Amino acid sequence: REPTAGASVLRLGALKGPSGIGMVRMFESPPRLSRGDTLELQAVPSADAMAAKLVAGELDAAVLPVNLAAKLYASGLPYRLAAVVGMGMVSVVTTDPAVRTFEDLAGREVHVAGQGATPEYLIRTIAEARGLDPDRDLNLAFRLPYPEIAASLAAGRISLAVLPEPFATQALAGNPRARVPFSLDELWKEATGRPGYPMTALVIRDAVLRDRPVSASALLAAYADSIAWVRAHPGDAGVLVEKHDLGLKASVAAAAIPRSAYVFIPAPDARADVEALLAVFLRIAPKSIGGRLPDPSFYAEIPKR
Amino acid sequence: MPYSLRDIRKSYGNLSVLDGFSLDLAEGKVTAVLGPSGCGKTTLLNILAGLVPPDSGELQGLSESRFSYVFQEPRLVPSLTALENVELVLRAVFGSPERRDRALSLLAAVGLSGSAGLRPRQLSGGMRQRVSLARAFAYPADILLLDEPFQSVDLRTRIGLMDAFLDLQTADPRTVVFVTHEVKEALYLGDRVVVLSDKPARILDRKELLLPRNRRRFGSSDLSDVEAAIYRLILG
Amino acid sequence: MPYSLRDIRKSYGNLSVLDGFSLDLAEGKVTAVLGPSGCGKTTLLNILAGLVPPDSGELQGLSESRFSYVFQEPRLVPSLTALENVELVLRAVFGSPERRDRALSLLAAVGLSGSAGLRPRQLSGGMRQRVSLARAFAYPADILLLDEPFQSVDLRTRIGLMDAFLDLQTADPRTVVFVTHEVKEALYLGDRVVVLSDKPARILDRKELLLPRNRRRFGSSDLSDVEAAIYRLILG
Amino acid sequence: MRKSRSAEPHRGVPGAAAGAVGALAFLLLWELAARAVGSEIVLPSPPRVARAAAELFPTVRFLAALEGTFLRGILAFGISLAAGAAVGLVCGLSPVLASALSPALTVIRATPVLAVILLALIWFPSGAVPVFAAVLMAFPVVVADVRQGVRSADPGLLEMARLFRLRKRDRIRSIYVPALAPYLASASHGALGLCWKVVVAGEVLSQPARALGTGMQGARIQLETAEVFAWTLAGILLCALTDAAFKLAQRKVPRALLPS
Amino acid sequence: MRKSRSAEPHRGVPGAAAGAVGALAFLLLWELAARAVGSEIVLPSPPRVARAAAELFPTVRFLAALEGTFLRGILAFGISLAAGAAVGLVCGLSPVLASALSPALTVIRATPVLAVILLALIWFPSGAVPVFAAVLMAFPVVVADVRQGVRSADPGLLEMARLFRLRKRDRIRSIYVPALAPYLASASHGALGLCWKVVVAGEVLSQPARALGTGMQGARIQLETAEVFAWTLAGILLCALTDAAFKLAQRKVPRALLPS
Ligand SMILES: Nc1ncnc2c1ncn2[C@@H]1O[C@H](COP(=O)(O)OP(=O)(O)OP(=O)(O)O)[C@@H](O)[C@H]1O
Ligand SMILES: Nc1ncnc2c1ncn2[C@@H]1O[C@H](COP(=O)(O)OP(=O)(O)OP(=O)(O)O)[C@@H](O)[C@H]1O
Ligand SMILES: [Mg+2]
Ligand SMILES: [Mg+2]
């Protein structure tokens, strides 16, 4: 499915849910690329499905978790990281007034959404940096899926959890006693010296970068514009999210946007942050990124327009 | 007349099997029923037993009675042995040791002492029929319905069974309806013989057999005039 | 002697049913078999038909033959009508119109023209038995096995059936084994009568009936000396 | 006149009355449980769900979802039943083929969809994944039933068929198919329920455009539990309706299965 | 001497040989499919999965997971079978109760676990959620089979029982239970497969500590498809083993069910 010399359609996959919010404006008004190339967007329900579509070569570009991008690259798929599009959006939420610092998590049941994903590794890394043994001193519970953790917090069934957006926002909205006692981003900065941790990335097919560099950079520019617009207009973006069926209600999306770090950091600039995060994965679960840090050619150089 | 049917009508679809049929059963007596195949004999027994509701008509003295029935097919429980099949119907009536004794003695009476532990599919056709007989005799009923009970049983065994039946009947007379195709059997066991027409079944003739039971012999010529009359009726 | 059993042994568990049993079947002749209930008559027919393997012994001329069988129970397909049940066994042999004609004419011969469209559970016991007979007669077999074929059939119909059988047999003689408990039937239909002992079944006696078939009458006294001898043997 | 007791299911008035009583009892239990839980997010009460359903059901989005799920469920059921009956028949009739197919069948019986979801996502469009999941679930159940049904064929009739040298197809139509019928009935009943359930669950996984499961997942993520229950209610109604249709059809079918 | 053909399944040598051929054919198909797909992430080849299994199976973590899943599967199967048989029996025997229970049964038949997962997670510890999910799935299948089994009881024998005024329990033990037996056999076969499948899927959802599903999900998140297949293989082996154990038991049980 290599694009030919003539005009072609680039297919971009967006993850349903919070990761898709940043590109909602592209759904509303698809950008024109160069040489008559057009962009076709599709909302993909899960990271699994996204991986499947990339493996099957059905997509030319896709948004997906950073570690998954590294894993696919390590498996020999011809996609490269073009930009980080979402930074850390994970918070500790609690209804218990006694919880004030990270150390207060010790010995208590902390519900974490997503075993083997960023939230877990984030907590582990911060804990170790602060001299806690995550397996002995922390009691991490993985049994509840994301929406159920938020629901349980809202209903007062549990009191302490680690949640990504927009679920953290929902939990806060659902229970007036819920609050965020401290910022995980800050602790991450202290632990790793990096300003933030990237969560989602945009990958582009090798051949597109090589044969259609102009279209590729137009795509990136459109993406960057969309993110800027979304951050500036959370309410309007929420409406579009619901309209394009990206899996969130307008109100929820609108409330979550200001609390989420939608960014657009081109690959060369993001490399240090990405490597810091992948190093964590590599240490705790090497297989999840393919057993090694990706080589430099993972990070695409995008020609400026 | 404690037991009777009055003006019974029964049809299956538009096939009329009984139409204005009446019959009285004398208590403690054996009514032998002869009739062509498919005329309604089994239907009649089923109506007496309350297994088939008549379309109209009256039944008297029957709903309170306890019935025993030798069905036209043996209807044994396939998963139970001969002995267990007989015991099964006694479970609600007798305690354990009495039940077993009674079942064993009736299996002996039908000549199956040696086969009490076999299941129906290990029995021959005639043996199954005899288990069904033993079951019906073992059950303490007021009314005994016999639908061709000696099917598939050889002559010698059959005479033994009939004699055993007559002994039981003399010791403890029950009201019996006995359907058969053998005139000689009807004459040997019956106190009365009823001959039915083809469907819808009507009573073509009824003969009271006044010769006392203990003076009858199977196939004897004492009743040969009655026998001849019945043959004439049957063979037309 | 085209068909024969030699030195057959068959037991179920440690119950010996046949032990060194031999029998020849004359082609085109009717062998009537009498014997006590449970002695092994059905087992014998099943071995002839190849439905039950003997433990040891030899069978000659049988494996290539086509059989027809009136089983001891009717064995009709419950979901098919009487007519369809008869047609079923003809499907592999005859084309559609011929098959139907043949099935209808045999149902007529057993007196069931009016019930051809009924399913087994709508038929009386005797009617089912007659469908089974019609099916066996309709099927073009070399050897016809009849296991108490006239069960549950009244005397008049039974005589009609026997006469129909004799007509068929005269027109187109088949090799027949006919198990029955009625001596008179054996004498009426058989070319030879074999009397079996209790199990393990041995041949107690065999009588050749030399009176030509068209001169016999059911229950006539022409064979009364043979009949008396057989009764003596059976009743002991 | 003496009355005979009937062994038939009580259709008509008494059945409907008992059904109504049962439904009321169920709703009552639900209401009590909801009060005990005391949180709309965890377990909304029946009136709350009824309100959510009343809002949801008239929307175009809902009707489109209902249509999509309906078609998927019927398709999954049809495939499970047809393929299951064919494989079950083969396994029941031929012990050798049964042994040969047994490894593959065991794999199908025990493999959760999630294990092969990547394959499913690649091989099928997202709307077909729920169908695939439901077939994976219901097909082995149908096979088990049909196989047992073939084995339940009357040995006396099979002996008769052997003696009269019936052709294979006559044996199947006259002896095996009628023996199968009640097993097929229970297989269908079981499979129909499974199909609805698993189709909706599969939709939650694969999020096709018009699907009850997609709607349900959306409501779940938004913590709209009452709406989740309303979507579920739609699935249950689909199940109840197709059940009724199937029962009606069953009363007509047996005749059609018999040889002409 | 003439041989009679046997209708029994081919146990022993021919059955085993056919099974081996079937297994080989299945592996071959898999290998071919893997080559066609050409991606270890989507469909790893059999040798690749065998290597992953050889690495995984001796680990303590795996054995603990196997034990946990085994106990859950057996428990779910036991509950489904016992409860399904009881409810099926009641529904088969009493048409009024059948009508009364029918709304609740339809709800159970058609409600996907995901709709009530929140409740399940709150009411049960995480290890019990997979059991709950499996019961929700297998129970209605057992009910359908048992109900049909009760209906298949010989009407001639039931008439006999009525005439001789057998007690309810004698009727059940002597007439209904034997009629039920083959239906129970196929219900068990169907339910056993469902239980393994759904228990593992439920573990993926609820992530209990020692569970094949938890391990599978871990591998899934890392796109270690060969490891996912290795975990699945363990589930399939559990299914095959319990199948065999169940078949053995079945040959002994029927006698035990009969009246003493
Ligand atoms: N369930 C039924 N449905 C329709 N027709 C039936 C049913 N039961 C019996 N019949 C018809 O009713 C008639 C009488 O049947 P019944 O069984 O009473 O005869 P019978 O006198 O016992 O005959 P046999 O001596 O052959 O047993 C028969 O013609 C039969 O076809
Ligand atoms: N499948 C079997 N398993 C065990 N025993 C059997 C089996 N079939 C028959 N028998 C036994 O073999 C003996 C002969 O049976 P068979 O059916 O041949 O008798 P029969 O002569 O036909 O009797 P009847 O005149 O009563 O039909 C019987 O004692 C029976 O108990
Ligand atoms: Mg009758
Ligand atoms: Mg016999």
Q: Does residue C162 contact residue C180 with C-beta atoms inside 8 Å? A: no
Q: Does residue D233 contact residue D49 with C-beta atoms inside 8 Å? A: yes
How far is Cα D122 from Cα D126, in angstroms, rounded to an integer? 9
The answer, yes or no, to whether residue E4 has pLDDT greater than 50, is no
User: Which band of pLDDT confidence, cut at 50, 70 and 90, is reported for residue D168?
Assistant: very high
Q: How many CB atoms lie within 10 A of CB C32?
A: 25
Interface pTM, i.e. ipTM: 0.87
How far is Cα C145 from Cα B33, in angstroms, rounded to an integer? 31
Q: What is the CA radius of gyration of chain C?
A: 18
Percent of chain B past pLDDT 70, that is, above it, reads 98
Cα torsion angle, E53, E57, E59, E62, sign = positive
Q: Does residue D167 contact residue D150 with C-beta atoms inside 8 Å? A: no
- Residues of chain A neighbouring E205 (CB-CB closer than 8 A): 145
Least confident of A107-121, B155-169, C46-60, C122-136: A107-121
How far is Cα C142 from Cα C127, in angstroms, rounded to an integer? 25
Q: Which of D37-46, D123-132, D152-161, E107-116 holds the top average pLDDT? A: D152-161
The answer, yes or no, to whether residue C71 has pLDDT greater than 50, is yes
- Residues of chain D neighbouring C77 (CB-CB closer than 8 A): 157, 174-175, 178
DSSP state of A116: T
Distance from residue B41's CA to the centre of ligand 3 (Å) = 5
- Are C68 and D157 a contacting pair at CB < 8 A? no
Ligand 1 atom 22 nearest Cα:
B42
Q: In what order do the strands lie in the sheet with A90-94?
A: A90-94, A160-164, A109-112, A139-141
User: Which band of pLDDT confidence, cut at 50, 70 and 90, is reported for residue D258?
Assistant: very low
C53 to chain E, any CB pair closer than 8 A? The answer is yes
Distance from residue C142's CA to the centre of ligand 4 (Å) = 22
Residue D187: enclosing H or E segment and its boundaries? helix D177-206
Q: B148: helix, coil or strand?
A: coil
Write out residues 263-302 of A within 8 Å (CB-CB) of E. Answer: 285, 287-288
Chain E contact probe: residue of B68, B75, B93 with most E CBs at under 10 A: B75
**Helix, strand, coil: what percent of chain E each, to 5?**
80, 0, 20
Distance from CA of E1 to the nearest CA of C (A): 6
The per-residue pLDDT of chain B, averaged, comes to 92
Residue ranges covered by each domain of chain D = 1-38, 44-252
The per-residue pLDDT of chain C, averaged, comes to 92
Q: Give alpha helix (H) positions in A103-259.
A: 118-129, 146-154, 167-174, 184-192, 206-211, 213-232, 234-243, 250-256
The answer, yes or no, to whether residue C90 has pLDDT greater than 90, is yes
Neighbours of chain A (3+ CB pairs under 8 A): D, E
Residue C57, φ and ψ in degrees, nearest 5: 115, 175
Q: A53: helix, coil or strand?
A: helix
User: Which band of pLDDT confidence, cut at 50, 70 and 90, is reported for residue E10?
Assistant: very low
Distance from residue C159's CA to the centre of ligand 2 (Å) = 28
User: Which band of pLDDT confidence, cut at 50, 70 and 90, is reported for residue B134?
Assistant: very high
- Tell me if the bond preceding A286 is cis, omega within 30° of 0: no
Distance from CA of E5 to the nearest CA of C (A): 9
Burial class (CB in 10 A: 0-12, 13-18, 19+), E255: exposed
How far is Cα E59 from Cα E56, in angstroms, rounded to an integer? 6
How far is Cα D130 from Cα D5, in angstroms, rounded to an integer? 46
pLDDT block averages, 10 residues each, chain A of length 305 = 61 84 84 79 84 86 89 88 86 88 85 79 86 84 81 85 85 86 85 83 88 84 89 88 81 83 86 87 84 86 66
C155 to chain B, any CB pair closer than 8 A? The answer is yes
User: What is the average per-residue pLDDT within C49-60?
Assistant: 94
CB half-sphere exposure, C72, CA atoms < 13 A: 25
Q: A167-191 burial by CB neighbour count: b if 16+ within 10 A, else e? A: bbbbbbbbbeebbbbeebbebbeeb
**Residue A292 CA: distances (Å) to CA of A126, A267, A285, D68, E157:** 22, 18, 10, 44, 73
User: What is the average per-residue pLDDT within D238-246?
Assistant: 89
What pLDDT, on a 0 to 100 scale, did the predictor assign at position A254?
87
Orientation of helix D212-221 relative to helix A146-154, angle to 10°: 50
The answer, yes or no, to whether residue B81 has pLDDT greater than 90, is yes
Q: Which of C67-71, C224-228, E104-108 holds the top average pLDDT? A: C67-71
User: Which band of pLDDT confidence, cut at 50, 70 and 90, is reported for residue B43?
Assistant: very high
Least confident of B188-202, C150-164, E217-231: E217-231
How far is Cα E173 from Cα E186, in angstroms, rounded to an integer? 19
What pLDDT, on a 0 to 100 scale, did the predictor assign at position A5?
54
Given C50, C58, C59, which is nearest E4 (Cβ)?
C50
A296 Cβ contact partners less than 8 Å away, ≥ 6 residues apart: none
Residues in a beta bridge with B97: none
Distance from CA of E94 to the nearest CA of B (A): 19
E38 Cβ contact partners less than 8 Å away, ≥ 6 residues apart: none
CATH number of C3-65+142-235: 3.40.50.300
CB half-sphere exposure, A41, CA atoms < 13 A: 22
How far is Cα D110 from Cα D128, in angstroms, rounded to an integer? 20
The closest of A87, A24, A66, A15 to A253, measured between CA atoms, is A24
Ligand 1 atom 25 nearest Cα:
B37
A184-214 pLDDT per residue, tens? 888 888 888 887 888 889 999 988 888 888 8
D182-236 pLDDT per residue, tens? 999 899 988 999 999 999 989 988 888 889 998 888 888 778 889 999 999 999 9
What pLDDT, on a 0 to 100 scale, did the predictor assign at position E12?
57
Residue C19: enclosing H or E segment and its boundaries? strand C15-25
* Tokens matching residue B181: 């195709």
The three-state DSSP-derived secondary structure of D46-88 is HHHHHHHHHHHCCCHHHHHHHHHHHHHHHHHHHHHHHHHHHHH
- Are E163 and B92 a contacting pair at CB < 8 A? no
Among B122, B131, B150, say which to mutate for ligand 2: greatest number of ligand atoms within 8 Å of CB: B122
The answer, yes or no, to whether residue E259 has pLDDT greater than 80, is no
Residue A26: enclosing H or E segment and its boundaries? helix A24-28
Q: In what order do the strands lie in the sheet with B56-60?
A: B15-25, B3-12, B56-60
What pLDDT, on a 0 to 100 scale, did the predictor assign at position A196?
81
Q: Does residue D56 contact residue D115 with C-beta atoms inside 8 Å? A: no
What pLDDT, on a 0 to 100 scale, did the predictor assign at position B1?
52
Q: A41: helix, coil or strand?
A: strand
C234 to chain B, any CB pair closer than 8 A? The answer is yes
Distance from residue C49's CA to the centre of ligand 4 (Å) = 14
Ligand 2 atom 18 nearest Cα:
C40
User: What is the average per-residue pLDDT within D87-94?
Assistant: 92
- Residues of chain C neighbouring E2 (CB-CB closer than 8 A): 50, 53, 59, 62-63
Any ligand 1 atom below 6 A from CB of B39: yes
E183 Cβ contact partners less than 8 Å away, ≥ 6 residues apart: D148, D183, D186, E145, E146, E148, E149, E152
Q: How many CB atoms lie within 10 A of CB A93?
A: 26
Q: How many CB atoms lie within 10 A of CB A133?
A: 11
- Are D2 and B57 a contacting pair at CB < 8 A? no
User: Which band of pLDDT confidence, cut at 50, 70 and 90, is reported for residue E3?
Assistant: very low
The answer, yes or no, to whether residue D5 has pLDDT greater than 70, is no
Distance from CA of C168 to the nearest CA of D (A): 20
Total count of residues recorded for chain B: 236
User: What is the average per-residue pLDDT within D9-38?
Assistant: 82
Distance from CA of C75 to the nearest CA of D (A): 6
Residue E62: enclosing H or E segment and its boundaries? helix E60-93
Write out residues 191-220 of E within 8 Å (CB-CB) of D. Answer: 192-194, 196-198, 200-201, 204, 213, 216-217, 220
Interface of D with C (CB under 8 A): 156-157, 159-160, 162-167, 170, 174-175, 178, 254, 258-259
Q: Does residue D186 contact residue D141 with C-beta atoms inside 8 Å? A: no
What pLDDT, on a 0 to 100 scale, did the predictor assign at position C223?
74
How far is Cα D59 from Cα D61, in angstroms, rounded to an integer? 5
Any ligand 1 atom below 6 A from CB of C170: no
What pLDDT, on a 0 to 100 scale, did the predictor assign at position D12?
57
What pLDDT, on a 0 to 100 scale, did the predictor assign at position E212?
93
CATH of range E44-252; options 3.90.1150.10, 3.40.50.80, 1.10.3720.10, 3.40.50.920: 1.10.3720.10
* Tokens matching residue C196: 């079996």
Distance from residue B126's CA to the centre of ligand 4 (Å) = 7
What pLDDT, on a 0 to 100 scale, did the predictor assign at position E220?
83
What pLDDT, on a 0 to 100 scale, did the predictor assign at position E254?
55
Residue type at position A172 = L
